[in-house]
Amino acid sequence: MSEASISLTESAAKRVAWIAARQQKPAILRLAVDGGGCAGFTYKFELADRPEAEDAIAETDGVKLVVDPMSLELVRGSAVDFVEDLGGASFRVTNPNAQSGCGCGSSFSV
Domain ranges of the chain: 2-102
Across the range 84-107, mean pLDDT stands at: 75
Domain 2-102: which topology? Hypothetical Protein Aq_1857; Chain: A; (2.60.300)
Q: Could you read off the pLDDT of 58-72 as tens digits, one per residue?
A: 999 999 999 999 999
Separation between Cα atoms, residue 65 and residue 12, nearest integer Å: 10
Q: Could you read off the pLDDT of 4-46 as tens digits, one per residue?
A: 589 999 999 999 999 999 999 999 999 999 877 666 788 899 9
Report pLDDT for 44. Answer: 92
End-to-end Cα distance, the chain: 26
CB-facing half-sphere around the CA of 38: CA atoms within 13 A? 7
Please report, for residues 36, 47, 84, 88, 102, the alpha-carbon distance to residue 67 in angstroms, rounded to integers and kept in the order given.
Answer: 18, 12, 24, 25, 22
> Smallest Cα–Cα separation from 97: which of 80, 110, 79?
110
